[in-house]
Amino acid sequence: MYCKHCGREIGDGQRFCSYCGARQQENGPDQVPPQPDGTTATQTGNYRYDAPPPSGGAPVTGGNALLTIFAILCAVVYGVRAIGRFFGAVGVLLGGYCYGATVLTHVLLPMIQSGAYMCMCLLLLAMALKSTRENREAYFLGVSCLSLATLAVLAIRALMMVLIDGLVYGWHWSWGGFVTSVLGLAVTVGGLWVLMYLDGQRALVGKSADQLRQLGYDLSDAIKELRFTGGGRSACGQEGTRPQDQSASANYGAGVNWTRPVTEDRNFVLYVVLTIITCGIYGLVFLYSMIQDVNTVCDGDGEHTRGLLGLILLSLVTCGIYSFYWYYCLGNRLANNASRYGMSFQENGTTVLLWLVIGSLLCGLGTWVATYIIIKNCNQLCAAYNRAHGI
C-alpha cells in the first residue's frame, strides 16, 4: 500500500507512514480539513489548503505605550527583588545565621521566592517588548498564574515562619514584608488589567475553560517563538504563523490538527543551569512545554502523557514513586513512536528508569542522565515531525 499523503510505499496494514508520520485511514474515503468557507470535501490525491494571510499584529509598544512602560517598571522591580532575595538567602546560609528548621524559612523558601520573582521579571519584559495585541491576553494569563504561584510561596513562607520562628524559637517576625509583597502582586496584575481595559481589552473576563486553555497554548507558542528566533518569527520564517503554502497533510497527518511548530532544539545545559538558578521553577515550565509537544508529536498512538499538575500531585501522594513510572512511560512512548518517522532509539523507558534508580546512588547524577536521554529523543522526534509537516 501507499501513503495517502506523501505517496510513498509502506507496509500493508501499517497505521502510520514511516516517512511523513501521517496516520493512514483504515476505512472510508480520505478526509481533508474543512475548506475556508467552512465546508468539507472528500477526495483522493493531493489537496492543498492555503491558509488565510497572517494577521501580523503590531507590537504593544506601538498600541499602548503606557502599558509597556508599566510592565517594564514592574519587571525592573521584580528583577531587583529577585537578586536581593537570592543574595540575602546566600548570605544567611554562608554566615551561619540560621540553623535547624530555620534553613527552610530563611534560605530555601527565599530562594524559591527569588526564582518566582525572576520569572515574573522575564515574563513582564517579554510582554512589554515582544507581545502583540493578539497574544497580549495570553501574556496576561501567564503573569496572573505566576502571581498566584508567587502568592502561594509567600503564604507558605509566612505560615512556616509563624510556626517555626515564632512558636519553636520564639523569634519576633513582622508581617510588613508579606503585606508589601502581596500588594505588589495585586498592583501588577490590577494595573495591567486596567491598562488593557483602557486599550479595549477585557482580559480573561467571561472566558470559558477551553478559551483559557487556548490562551495557555498561545502563551506557550509566544515563548517558543522567542526561543526559536529571538522573538516575532517562527521557525518557518513567517510572523507567528504557519506557511501559507502548506499541504493538507501538515494539518491532518499524524492524527493532529497542526497549526504551530514544536520545539526541536531544547538545550540540556541551559535546562540544568536555569533550573538551578530559578530553584526548579524553570524546570517545571520546561517540563510543561515538553509534555505538550510529546502529546502533539505522538498523537494517535493510543497513549497520553499525563500533564504537569497530575505528575506533581501523584508524585507527592506516592512519595515520588509515581515520577519514576511517569518517566518510564515517557521513555517508552518516545521510543515506540520513533518508527513513525523512520527512526529508532536505543534508549527506552527501561534505560531511563535504570538511570533514575542509579541516580539515587550517585548523588543524583543518574537523574540528569535520564533527563538528557528524554530531551535528546524528544528533540529528534520534534525535528522529524516539523520536517514531515513542512515546518
Helices (H) and strands (E) in the chain, counts: 14, 2
DSSP 235: T
Give the residue-averaged pLDDT of 119-148.
Answer: 85
Q: Which of 11, 6, 18, 23 is nearest to 254 (CA)?
A: 23
> What is the value of pTM for the model shown?
0.48
CB 185 within 8 A of CB 226: no
Q: How confident is the model at residue 30 (pLDDT cuts 50, 70, 90)?
A: very low
> What's the whole-number average pLDDT of the chain?
74
Amino acid 328: pLDDT: 92
Amino acid 228: pLDDT: 44
Q: Angle at CA 315, nearest 5°, toward 86 and 268?
A: 55
Element spanning 277, H or E: helix 268-277
The predicted-structure confidence for 257-269, as pLDDT tens digits, reads as follows 444 678 888 888 8
Helices (H), 23-135: 60-63, 65-95, 102-103, 109-129
Question: Is residue 70 over pLDDT 70?
Answer: yes
Q: Which residues contact 245 (CB under 8 A, 6 or more apart)?
A: 48, 50
Q: Is 295 exposed, middle or buried (0-12, 13-18, 19+ CB in 10 A)?
A: middle
CA–CA dist 19, 342 (Å, integer): 6
Give the residue-averaged pLDDT of 132-139.
Answer: 83
